[in-house]
A = this chain, B = another copy of it.
Amino acid sequence: MGTTVEPIARMASQLARLPGIGQKSAQRLAYHIAGMPEQEVHDLAAAIWQGRKAVHYCTICGNYTEHEVCSVCADDDRRNGQICVVRDPRDVAAMERMRDYHGRYHVLMGTLSPMNGIGPEDIRIRELLQRLSTEDVSEVILATNPDIEGEATAAYIARIIKPMGIRVTRIAHGVPVGSDLEYADEITLAKAMEGRREI
């Protein structure tokens, strides 16, 4: 369109690169931002840029942090012998929302994916093994996603760690709480049956 306003078009094309924001919503957002008070737009842009600059990876677990070491790793009460292995920092946030896990984390920054050329050396498995040799770890909880890549990654790590005499567990798969059996897919149902317990 010859009549599109250039700065708004530039805004929209940047916003459209974010996940879950299509061309249409990007344009809607750009028009909205163009009409917002300057101070509010300044605060938004600053939160994005300053936020990105302030965030690093925890040198121990790989989670996001403002500091050298994340708040979980910095908390000695959480050095309880458990390490929960997840794919990315978002999964740490999800586990923390549960408020029920009191150990530490290890963020892999990906999962094994031979199709995409991602092998064991491309994710933080070596760093995990290093931690197991220096920290006092009694259990490694594999909490990668219950999909093909997540399962393969969990199986791979379990195969390496088990011979070290460390307990290795996998989070349970089953029917989500509050959901309807009718809508569960067969694999989830099969996993739910397989993992059934005496009540």
Interface residues of A (CB under 8 A from B): 1-8, 10-11, 13-15, 17-21, 25, 27-36, 38, 40-55, 63-66, 70-72, 88-90, 92-93, 96-97
User: What's the Cα separation between A55 and B36 when bound, in Å?
Assistant: 11
Instruction: A104 to B144: give the CA distance in the assembly, Å.
Output: 57
A154 to B197, CA, bound (A): 67
Contact of A11 among B13, B36, B48, B65 (CB under 8 A): B48
**Pairwise interchain contact A31-B90, C-beta atoms closer than 8 A:** yes
Whether B51 pairs with A32 at a CB distance below 8 angstroms is: no
Minimal beta-carbon separation of A31 from chain B (angstroms): 5
Chain B, Cβ-Cβ closest to A38: B52
Query: Known: A47-B14, A72-B3, A97-B1. Contact between A36 and B8, CB under 8 A?
Result: no
Query: In the complex, which of the residues A52, A54, A63 has the most CB atoms of chain B within 10 Å of its own CB atom?
Result: A52
One of B35, B45, B71, B97 near A49 (C-beta < 8 A): B45
Number of copies: 2
Contact B64 A96 (CB under 8 A): no
Note all chain B residues with C-beta closer than 8 A to A28: 19-20, 90
> In the complex, what distance in Å separates the CA atom of A41 from the CA atom of B5?
22
Min CB gap A100→B, angstroms: 13
Identify the 4 closest CB pairs spanning chains A and B, nearest first.
A45-B49, A7-B51, A7-B54, A11-B51
Known: A8-B64, A14-B48. 14 other contacts (CB 8 A): A1-B96, A3-B70, A3-B92, A3-B93, A6-B54, A7-B50, A14-B44, A18-B33, A19-B32, A21-B29, A31-B90, A34-B51, A35-B88, A42-B52
**CA distance in complex: A76, B11 (Å):** 28
* A8 in complex: contacting residue of B25, B27, B49, B55, CB < 8 Å: B55
Q: In the complex, are the beta carbons of B33 and A48 less than 8 A apart?
A: yes
Q: Contacts of A70 on B, CB cut-off 8 Å?
A: 3, 5
Q: Which single residue of chain B is at the shortest CB-CB distance from A52?
A: B41
